[in-house]
Amino acid sequence: MPTVEERMGVVETKVEHLNEKVDDIKQDVKDTKDSIKDNHEIIMKKLDDMEEKYEINRDAFYQKFDKRKLEQDEADHALNKKISSLEEFKMKWVYIISGAAIVIGWVGAHGDHLIKMLVGK
């Protein structure tokens, strides 16, 4: 049977191995922490870059949008003016033709009286 000293030697050896493994685990945790920190910095830089690009692209989009809206408003205004002009032209001729039809109808209905007045009999 092993003596107390031999048993103590075995236990001390196991404790030394455990201490080495704990040191290895501590180093692994430190390396993982450093890796996480590095990845965090990289991700944050990329997010900042993306935010800057978004700001630039957003402003460019709104500038183009505003320009196109202004162009569309001008085109709509010009089209509305043309439509109004055509409606005025149409109404003018509708009134002229309607008036002419009324005059022709009245002359046709009272033509014999007009002829008598003009001829004088």
Which amino acid appears at position 119 of this protein? V
Q: What's the pLDDT score for residue 121?
A: 60
Average pLDDT taken over every residue of the chain: 91
Residues 50-83 as b/e (b if ≥16 CB within 10 A, e otherwise) read eeeeeeeeeeeeeeeeeeeeeeeeeeeeeeeeee
Q: How does pLDDT run across 22-67, given as a tens digit for each residue?
A: 999 999 999 999 999 999 999 999 999 999 888 888 888 999 999 9
pLDDT at position 7: 82
H or E, element range at 37: helix 4-119
